[in-house]
Amino acid sequence: MLNVLREDVFETPKEIEQRYPRCKYIFVDFTDLNNLRGRLYAVSDSASSYDELCALSNRLSDEGTNSCIMGEYAEGGMIGVQRELGR
């Protein structure tokens, strides 16, 4: 499910992820990529709302807001060794 929160407080991604573990979220209004601080705009708690999350983040970007999808769902973004079929 997607929840649009539009929070006012500036936080780090780590602080947001402590409040919303196992979720992906839209992080907005950051300016310094070396020292990320921004606001939480929306939270998605499952992959079923991932496309909706992407569409919202894309729209914010098109409107001129710095917007990035961060975080990982319950499986923790587990990535195995990348293999190519047929190679």
Q: How far is the CB of 54 from another protein (least distance, A)?
A: 4
Under rule CB under 8 A, residue 20 binds another protein: no
Six-digit token string for 22: 């196992």
Q: Is 39 in the site for another protein (CB under 8 A)?
A: no
Say how far apart CA 62 and CA 65 lie, in whole Å.
7
Site residue total, another protein (CB under 8 A): 32
Site for another protein in 50-69 (CB under 8 A): 50-51, 54-55, 57-58, 61-62, 66-69
Report CA-CA distances (Å) from 10 to 1, 7, 28, 40, 50. Answer: 23, 8, 9, 8, 23
